[in-house]
Amino acid sequence: MTASTHQPSPAVTLSDVSFAWPDGTVVFDHLTMHVPTGVCSLVGANGAGKSTLLRLIAGDLVPRTGSVTVAGDVGVVTQHPHDAPERTIAAVLGVDAIRDALRRIESGSIDEHDFAVVGDDWDIEERVAASLDALGLPTDTDRTVRSLSGGEATLLAIVAELIRRPSILLLDEPTNNLDTPSRARLFDALDRFGGTVMAVSHDLELLERTDSTLELYRGSVRVFGGPYSLYRETLDAEQQAAEAAVTNAASDLRKQRRELKEAQIKLDRRARTAATAEREKRVPKIVAHLRRDAAQVSAGKLRNAHRDDVSAASERLDTARDGVRDDRTARIVMPVAQVATRARIVDDDQLTIDGPERVALVGANGSGKTTLIAELITDGRILAPYAYVPQQITFADPRQGIADAIAVTHPQVDEQTIRAHLARFLFRGKRADRALGELSGGERLRVAMAMSLLADPVPALLILDEPTNNLDVDTTEELVAALRQWQGALLVVSHDHGFLDRIGIDRSVERPAGRDKP
């Protein structure tokens, strides 16, 4: 008997889905894809349409054509899950009516409506308390969302979905603003979740915990079995092969052009020899004409054959170039900072940095990491020129172009220097004129870095506060590569230990919990 392998049905299927925004901007055009069961991640560049894809699966958006099929109920947690901070935890969890009915029954109510509201959820308060406690959240369900941190509000939204017990859970950047203990609790909760999870995330630790990786690229989705590292290895190998194919195709095109030129030279020589013989009447005129006609036909065939070879080689080169992805070739070029090995860069009783040290400032949410940076700056504890990129990047005039905005902040720098500097941060040509308000999170970070590092001399210290928040994975990789180039001192606030490891942090300084609390 031949054994058969049973392939589980996909959790989500999109068939020939097209979607465009009201202004006509096309996001997906005849997209067909399958989301496998288990825990999977969705990766892709900022602006590729990851959040839009989640909303289509959740049913918040309706495709213009095609269909979306899901195997069960869908729960979704967006990047900014709460827009009503005055709501209570109970209201967010959707249990306030049940809880109130239980309290009335405990007080002696025999109203059938109260019993109908409770249904089978007699243990709802215990389940809610256990779920909240498991994610480190306060169990007082009368508290408002306003009393929670941004990370806690995200965790609350996740608890609300877990209590509903959906078959499919969609998460959009769930680890943003979470400290290390909160991230660990979230990972444990996802491990216990029995359904399918589809997470959009730049968090490499989360991406390494997935069963499969889905990549959204140029409107298509490709499924890679395994976590992000396996996806990256596969893609890098494919790109190496694609680049080798371009090299080979370019070499072949040069060869075919050279052979065409050599053939043309030979044919020209033959034609001159035949013409000379005819003029000197070495052969009868009729024979000379026959030879000339035959030679012209032969030469035309040979010339056309070589031209066909050149054309085919050119097409192969174009095809090979199409296989090389431009999102894998762009690299930020950091300015060169000169920092003496023993130079004191930061001098404070809570934090010191000497020479080109790379220091991570870590700690729980609310421990005062951002506050410490502000104190170092305002108290003059930074003893060398520095560049600071805050967690919240804002611009005075979102309508202003990138180059114009930098010209305003650096009036002493000429336009040519500004544009050359922006090119190192991947804003080349017309890209340097894009309006600030149109930029993605990664682009805003690059503008902020370019704006801060445009100085003479180059700043000795670069300070980054949660730089990977709201970045897609490819942009995070760009940032990692850029920071590995950086030769000056580096102070980074981040909860992402994978990111810190990859940028080569020398040591970590931990802030005790509760430093920002009264």
DSSP code string of 287-337: HHHHHHHHHHHHHHHHHHHHHHHHHHHHHHHHHHHHTS-GGGT----PPPP
Q: Yes or no: say if 170 and 198 are a contact pair by the CB < 8 Å rule.
A: yes
Give whole-number Cα distances, 143 to 88, 122, 195, 469, in Å: 5, 22, 30, 27
Amino acid 517: pLDDT: 41
Asked whether residue 160 carries a pLDDT value surpassing 80, the answer given is yes
Amino acid 354: pLDDT: 95
* DSSP at 382: B
Amino acid 78: pLDDT: 86
Asked whether residue 381 carries a pLDDT value surpassing 80, the answer given is yes
The fold for domain 12-87+144-226 equals Rossmann fold (3.40.50)
The fold for domain 344-511 equals Rossmann fold (3.40.50)
Asked whether residue 516 carries a pLDDT value surpassing 90, the answer given is no
Amino acid 235: pLDDT: 85
pTM (predicted TM-score): 0.65
Asked whether residue 172 carries a pLDDT value surpassing 70, the answer given is yes
Identify the residue with better confidence: 372 or 392. 372
Q: What percentage of the chain carries pLDDT values higher than 70?
A: 88
Return mean pLDDT, the chain. 85
Asked whether residue 165 carries a pLDDT value surpassing 90, the answer given is no
Identify the residue with better confidence: 365 or 89. 89
Amino acid 181: pLDDT: 84
Amino acid 2: pLDDT: 42
Amino acid 194: pLDDT: 87
Amino acid 7: pLDDT: 57
Asked whether residue 265 carries a pLDDT value surpassing 90, the answer given is no
Identify the residue with better confidence: 162 or 276. 162
**C-alpha count within 13 angstroms, C-beta hemisphere, residue 421:** 25
Distance CA 90, CA 63 (A): 34
**74-77 and 220-225 beta bridge pairing:** unpaired
Per-residue pLDDT, averaged over 491-501, amounts to 89
Amino acid 27: pLDDT: 92
Asked whether residue 55 carries a pLDDT value surpassing 70, the answer given is yes
Q: Which of 18-22, 112-116, 247-251 has the lowest mean pLDDT?
A: 247-251
Distance CA 471, CA 203 (A): 9
Amino acid 32: pLDDT: 95
Does the N-terminal peptide bond of residue 335 adopt cis geometry, omega within 30 degrees of 0? no
Q: Which of 13-17, 115-119, 184-188 has the highest mean pLDDT?
A: 13-17
Asked whether residue 4 carries a pLDDT value surpassing 50, the answer given is no
Joined together, the tokens standing for residue 420 give 């050359």
Per-residue pLDDT, averaged over 428-443, amounts to 88
pLDDT classification of 472: cutoffs 50, 70, 90: confident
Identity of the amino acid at 280? E
Amino acid 75: pLDDT: 93
Q: What percentage of the chain carries pLDDT values higher than 90?
A: 39
Can you name the residues that pair with 491 across neighbouring β-strands? 359, 463
Asked whether residue 3 carries a pLDDT value surpassing 50, the answer given is no
Asked whether residue 39 carries a pLDDT value surpassing 60, the answer given is yes
Per-residue pLDDT, averaged over 171-200, amounts to 88
pLDDT classification of 152: cutoffs 50, 70, 90: confident
Asked whether residue 287 carries a pLDDT value surpassing 60, the answer given is no
Asked whether residue 210 carries a pLDDT value surpassing 70, the answer given is yes
Asked whether residue 450 carries a pLDDT value surpassing 80, the answer given is yes
Q: Yes or no: say if 488 and 455 are a contact pair by the CB < 8 Å rule.
A: no
Per-residue pLDDT, averaged over 143-161, amounts to 86
Q: Please, what's the b/e burial string for 210-238 (b: 16 or more CB within 10 A of its CB; e: otherwise)?
A: bebbbbbeeeebeebeebbeebbebbeee
